[in-house]
Amino acid sequence: MNLMRTFLAILALAAAGWAQNVVRWSATTGQVSLTSSGTAATVQQPPTGAAQEIIEQIVVYCSVGCTATQYSGGTAATATAGTVVPLLPVQANFPIPLNFYTASNTGTGTQQGGITNIPAGATVVLCLARTCGNGGDVALPATSGAQYTLVIGSLTGTVNITFYGRQIQ
């Protein structure tokens, strides 16, 4: 009987050691004022130290009617660097090896789905993961430069783009 308890205890510890650590994060452009121009925001894997990323949602606000288009696999973005912030229960200074670009200069990749029309003054949640009801997850593989971009068409007004996701370490 003691041998069986010991075996089960070792098995439980081994399983816990193989468990993956999941870290939630967000990245936002903040309020961006535009005059007859568009903008883009990109989450992108770094050159080294990448981890698998699941993009759960992109929350988009437009003060005037706007269009939002999603792309993946474009040319690597290099400007303007933003910040990826860990979400609770992780400590605020926990490092997230993922790059975020506001006013992104990424090259056009492959369009993902259609163009989303967002009414004036509306906030729209684009669900990209099982956790919010999508049939599958939009995942960035742990590959240098893998990316996902949201592009807002030309307008005069204010926009805010916020990505929410989780990292599997």
Q: What is the CATH number of the domain that holds 47?
A: 2.60.120
Number of structural domains, the chain? Answer: 1
Does 14 score more than 60 pLDDT?
Answer: no
Angle at 49 between CA 162 and CA 103, to 5 degrees: 30
- For residue 15, tell me if it sits in a domain: no
Look up the domain containing 109 and give its range. 20-168
- For residue 150, tell me if it sits in a domain: yes
- For residue 144, tell me if it sits in a domain: yes
Predicted confidence band of residue 107 (pLDDT cuts 50, 70, 90): confident
> 76-106, pLDDT tens digit by residue?
999 899 999 999 998 888 999 999 999 999 8
Q: φ and ψ at 108, to 5 degrees?
A: -60, 130
- For residue 124, tell me if it sits in a domain: yes
- For residue 50, tell me if it sits in a domain: yes
Predicted confidence band of residue 12 (pLDDT cuts 50, 70, 90): very low
- For residue 100, tell me if it sits in a domain: yes
- For residue 11, tell me if it sits in a domain: no
Q: Is 19 exposed, middle or buried (0-12, 13-18, 19+ CB in 10 A)?
A: exposed
Answering whether pTM is above 0.75, one says yes
DSSP conformational letter for 96: -
- For residue 6, tell me if it sits in a domain: no
